[in-house]
Structure 1
């Protein structure tokens, strides 16, 4: 499982973005510290809850196709970009606390700053990896490759610095050195070195499977909640014509009842984000007043995480209201 530094030298990191227009800088956002398994559609759904998006891009490794943990969102209205920063910066998503800020123009000095590190101790965590390299500059993203079956580190990792010169200094300082706990010297070099021959398929398989973010005990505990089904709500307006995904192929849909009239999508993101991958949130509003009608839906990718969210949030007091949270079934759509 990835470990996120809660405090330290990487807290103020930003990545780079190609922009030459002053107006663009007011609508273009950089989003750092995204969960590795978060998809571009999930990123778009999260920021689309704030306002209309012109474009959205999740940055991926060119070799493996895996997320590098950051992306860009470009709003149409600068006010929505500002609102997104105020609303979503610091949002907890799974084991990550995301950072949202304005993207800055790119230059040659901040390109190609990704390092490949091998020979790491199998016991080294991502936090320890960042601590080892943070003395050389600002770290944007980091990750350690793990065996897909055992979850054990493969002794290989990646570090992306804010600037290339920082990456160069890290190579000078750490390549061939023995970090704490290591019996052999580590190798540190640029990840995009043309001489580095990598089997794309094998490398992609080294990443931890998104469906194995939690160990067995959590999966067993989640079985306790497999019988949950939405309760009947008297007087609920029919949801005919609203298409919400079920669990077949699209994730697990959760029904949230007793929300306040001023509730919005950002509240649901903040509540459910820490439990796992959220693909979509929806607050049902009154057509005339645009106020929340008291309920909404959250779709999560993984059953275990959805069950844990239900177990934790059902009966949760939000303001002066006690929430009722359960898996959605076809009964939920009936008045």
Structure 2
């Protein structure tokens, strides 16, 4: 089981210079296969959540065989996602039903079954530049949602002013959805844009600035969540009794 989690982490760490992409893989499904009845992927975790807090949250559901909060290999910053492998498949199912949609700080976490990567779901992360400075993350998702199921998105902002840099990332559920978004939006001018936007795969080797932008993203996220998490830990460190009362 531990091997499954380790393998999946390697498969999705295919960003520029071998660095995992923002917000993690998001290779997930609402169903499970024989190899993934106990393995979960958790997205949208607070950037300053620790490994211990992550384990405490999901350990309150049932016995965990292993868990991993994924961090950037270079900066050490959390990428906002992790994997949990339960001993009992029933506990994995209970974790989804109980913790999916739980609000932690400013995040609403997503808990779903993890699945091995395949050609149809790998490399579905897009890099977008030239976005209007007034475009919000929600606006960007609305623009791209016509091409498929969006798993996560992020707009880079100036770490001092908080103003958008006009650069963002969109991850689709499947690669073919990302390809359609490139065909439909690359070179187009969305509402409010002065120039056409550029849409391409985020792990394109020719994207020389990708690593610098990702590093900046992690640093910005770290500064944004500099406050201690401990004063909010009671919000997600549930006892089994509390968990049972929620289901």
Please say whether Structure 1 and Structure 2 have the same fold, judged by a TM-score greater than 0.5. Answer: yes
> Is 1:53 paired with 2:64?
yes
State whether residues 64 and 203 of structure 1, in contact with CA within 8 Å, keep that contact through their aligned partners in structure 2: no
What residue ranges of structure 2 are gaps of 5+ in the alignment?
1-25
Maintained 8 Å contact 1:31/1:98 = yes
Q: Distance in 2 between matches of 1:140 and 1:61?
A: 19
For the structure 1 residues 122 and 210, does the alpha-carbon distance in structure 2 shift closer, same or farther, using more than 3 Å as the test?
Answer: same
- Residues 1:133 and 1:54: Cα distance change in structure 2 (over 3 Å): same
| Pairwise CA RMSD | 3.3
SS at match of 2:177: helix
1: CA distance between counterparts of 2:200 and 2:133?
A: 19
Q: 1:100 to 1:206 in 2, by over 3 A?
A: closer
**Residue 36 of structure 2: SS of its match in structure 1?**
helix
TM-score (norm 2): 0.73
User: How far, CA to CA, are the matches of 1:199 and 1:117 in structure 2?
Assistant: 11
Matched, 1:184 2:184: no
TM-score, with length taken from structure 1: 0.56
Report the counterpart of residue 222 of structure 2 in structure 1: 210
Shift of 1:253: 5.0
Q: In 2, distance between residues paired with 1:56 and 1:193?
A: 30
Q: Alignment partner for residue 235 of structure 2, among 267, 272, 278?
A: 272
Aligned length: 215
Measured after TM superposition, the shift of residue 204 of structure 1 is: 1.7
Instruction: Report 1 or 2 for greater relative contact order, CA contacts < 8 Å, sequence distance ≥ 6.
Output: 2
Whether the 8 Å CA contact 2:28–2:112 is kept in 1: the answer is no
What is the aligned partner in structure 1 of residue 42 from structure 2?
31
Following TM superposition, by how much is the alpha carbon of 1:146 offset from its aligned partner in structure 2, in angstroms? 1.0
Cα distance change of structure 1 residues 40 and 131 upon mapping to structure 2, 3 Å threshold? farther
Q: Could you say which residue in structure 2 is the equivalent of 1:108?
A: 119
Q: Give the structure 2 partner of residue 6 of structure 1.
A: none
Cα 1:184–1:201 shift into 2, 3 Å: closer
Highest Rg: 1 or 2? Answer: 1
* Secondary structure in 1 matching 2:120: helix
Change (3 A) 1:209 1:45: same
Question: Gaps spanning 5+ residues in structure 1: where?
Answer: 1-13, 220-250, 255-267, 274-280, 284-289, 293-318, 320-335
